[in-house]
Structure 1
């Protein structure tokens, strides 16, 4: 740390750190970029990392996971917030008339796989977890009752009362099939809407567009459920109103029907018959309003928050697991370890090979995208990033760091190679002081093939 502070290029190093936004694990790049005049071949501008501190350029890692890099995840969260909110009240290329389109906030949950410790409240008072006077004793000798009033940070929340009775296979398989369940739910919802409008399914797109944005959230017990904004538009998306019959009152029963109707089947394996999995019985459907308890800001904030999370609340890992590694090397709670072990085992079963459970064991079987949107819901994350990059480029031209030229008349030649990522321990201390970020997390420099 002292050596870094006393180097002549410290100010430039600190400038790079600030430009990464305090990224915890910045990517190190080595290379150059040159701008040539297409007509004359004259060199207009050159940038090279040879003169940079350590001979590299540090750029943000751009991960969405808050557990890996809070700074980059905050950028992703903010972009997701703007994207979701634009689909509710307009902006970012979406007309403001979209706020009059029927819109619901829907939560689809997972079924039960066994009794788990839970925090229950009634009228603001915490209730006993699972108080039963005549509680049964399970085959493993455990009384299926818990009279404790759990605190919000109790590590036992979500863990089964009897781990040996808990259906770990079912939990992992549900996570793996959850993306398929969502696809079938959306297809069933379109069929139900077509029926409500007296239309053939093939003609629905000429009258109505089903737009949605959803996010997956892990419950403490280790299964995912989905929160979704579901909106009805006209045939051209948010720029046209839906037909008169397509109201929130028509959308609600269609959602209820689709949630009950769909299922996904896990193949038979290990002498176990095939298994049919469905959504849980808990289905929450609420209208989104411009004022009240469930506003567009509350919904956008809720979805954006979970877009940066994974299965951390269960106590699992945020990186893929090598099947050859022993789980004893990781600091895992028993429930998370058994879920991962189950996923690794099921991943070796030939009948379940297409679920790729070994590859997604750290996600407890879930292999879908956490945050997804239909094509016409709103703007896109790519458009938001492009606008931010253009703003940064305009600023560099204004400040004289880049020359002003017509892009069609310039040939750009660039060469880049990966040179590592992250910070040394000494650099990490300085980064925390410069940006006000936490020291929690990886501090080791991972050298690349040329680092």
Structure 2
């Protein structure tokens, strides 16, 4: 139920003489929940004569500001901007699989695998298992052992998909919280070492030196990170073999799909990351989990390029845009002095956060910055990454979208038609706040159809 303050703000905005222009700004942000407010001017000058051709100033805009999308990737903060990122990621992945956006359609003939690299086990957790649509018992054990803490390591429940226990350890006191946090922190490094080992082994299988392979073969990839319910990340990746010029050139005949699969299996089992001795325990070696999923991608096979593009884009929006809050933690940083008991998180996530803060205080692990990334349960890598030559870039997609909007503004007369070679553009912008008042949020939801949360106000001023 809207508050009296929100209703008063809504009525005030509706009676504003500039309401139509304000509504147009809101539509242009696409329903952004926390639009950035800018003050400034843009001036167009003739380079030859110095004559002012056109001048735009926010002084004539509603509230004296221009509202632009916040462009966050987190759906918890702005679903509208997160959806734009999801769509861009989809097209980026799709272009590398079936062509488009500057990638030739012949890329579909290149050897390509969909690979899932998982995390190792840090202790049994409640899980949902299915077989042909039938939900199976979680961890049925006829002669289940009792752990040192007095808990029977068995669970016969058939968990629903929204069961709060999913991902929770059968015994929290036995669970390896240290290993879970350290794996998240080192997952980006494990991925880097995996790609290096993959290239080296491909060169070995081809009878080439690693440097010489660059003249014949290029490994291209795109990957996204997914948080499992237990709070650890694993990676889904498209890995493709190209010729030396990237997707525009075919790989050599010896670079087959089977060869790529063999190299992936070798690299996944070979790479490790070592943690120095902590708490009187010996040094620890972390590696990928035993579950390695490798599936070929083909336009006429069971796993099509279209399906993989949609699958990875789904995870890009479900996880990359949600960060770690989808497993019961927060979407903002946690101070070391915070009262963990008061945080609105699951007990399992609370323990993981506490372990991040404890390990982050150790000098031996200062480089992992676990304290700063406690809200991410130790993971500080990018959720969606790709190799340089896989396909187009997010920057190129944004530039194309900006050019389209600019052409649209020129067509309706809001911007002058000019030649960039003969016109000098000088812009001055100043940050003036962010967010929407309660009343403006209600109106924005009605205008764009994007639901607003109960509290979306920012520091707009």
Aligned residues of 2:137 and 2:156 also touching (Cα < 8 A): yes
1:41 to partner: Cα distance = 1.7
Q: Give 3-state SS (helix, strand or coil) of 1:298's partner.
A: helix
Q: Give 3-state SS (helix, strand or coil) of 1:316's partner.
A: coil
Aligned to 1:162: 171
Provide the C-alpha distance between the structure 2 equivalents of 1:72 and 1:115, rounded to a whole number of angstroms.
37
Provide the C-alpha distance between the structure 2 equivalents of 1:348 and 1:388, rounded to a whole number of angstroms.
44
Provide the C-alpha distance between the structure 2 equivalents of 1:61 and 1:304, rounded to a whole number of angstroms.
21
Aligned residues of 1:68 and 1:441 also touching (Cα < 8 A): no
Deviations 1:58-117 (A, max 9, x none): 100111111211111111111111111110111100011100000000000000001100
Deviations 1:271-311 (A, max 9, x none): 23211000000000001122454221221112122223221
Aligned residues of 1:108 and 1:284 also touching (Cα < 8 A): yes
Q: Does residue 7 of the first structure (1) align with residue 20 of the second (2)?
A: no
Provide the C-alpha distance between the structure 2 equivalents of 1:377 and 1:265, rounded to a whole number of angstroms.
30
Aligned residues of 2:219 and 2:239 also touching (Cα < 8 A): yes
1:323 to partner: Cα distance = 1.9
Deviations 1:166-194 (A, max 9, x none): 00000000000001101111111111111
1:441 to partner: Cα distance = 6.2
Q: Which moved more, 1:27-36 or 1:223-232?
A: 27-36
Q: Does residue 285 of the first structure (1) align with residue 294 of the second (2)?
A: yes
Aligned to 1:121: 130
Provide the C-alpha distance between the structure 1 equivalents of 2:54 and 2:181, rounded to a whole number of angstroms.
54
Aligned to 1:92: 101
Aligned to 1:135: 144
Deviations 1:306-359 (A, max 9, x none): 223221221111111222222334311101111111111111100000001111
Unaligned stretches of 5+ residues in structure 2: 1-9
Extract structure 1 runs of 4+ deviating beyond 3 A. Answer: none
Aligned residues of 1:219 and 1:313 also touching (Cα < 8 A): no
Q: Give 3-state SS (helix, strand or coil) of 2:341's partner.
A: helix
Aligned residues of 1:197 and 1:245 also touching (Cα < 8 A): yes
Picking from 226, 232, 236, the partner of 2:245 is 236
Aligned residues of 1:209 and 1:232 also touching (Cα < 8 A): yes
Provide the C-alpha distance between the structure 2 equivalents of 1:394 and 1:245, rounded to a whole number of angstroms.
47
Provide the C-alpha distance between the structure 1 equivalents of 2:94 and 2:455, rounded to a whole number of angstroms.
34
Picking from 368, 373, 392, the partner of 1:355 is 368
Summarize the alignment of residues 141-290 of structure 1 with structure 2, pairs less than 5 Å apart.
141-290=150-299
Summarize the alignment of residues 74-85 of structure 1 with structure 2, pairs less than 5 Å apart.
74-85=83-94
Provide the C-alpha distance between the structure 1 equivalents of 2:134 and 2:344, rounded to a whole number of angstroms.
33
Q: Does residue 327 of the first structure (1) align with residue 336 of the second (2)?
A: no
Provide the alpha-carbon RMSD of the alignment.
1.1
Task: Decide whether aligned partners of structure 1 residues 191 and 441 sit closer, same or farther in structure 2, where only a CA change above 3 A counts.
Answer: farther
Summarize the alignment of residues 337-416 of structure 1 with structure 2, pairs less than 5 Å apart.
337-416=350-429
Aligned residues of 1:340 and 1:364 also touching (Cα < 8 A): yes
Aligned to 1:69: 78
Aligned to 1:440: 453
Q: Which moved more, 1:365-374 or 1:391-400?
A: 391-400
Q: Does residue 417 of the first structure (1) align with residue 439 of the second (2)?
A: no
Aligned residues of 2:438 and 2:455 also touching (Cα < 8 A): no
Provide the C-alpha distance between the structure 2 equivalents of 1:322 and 1:46, rounded to a whole number of angstroms.
45
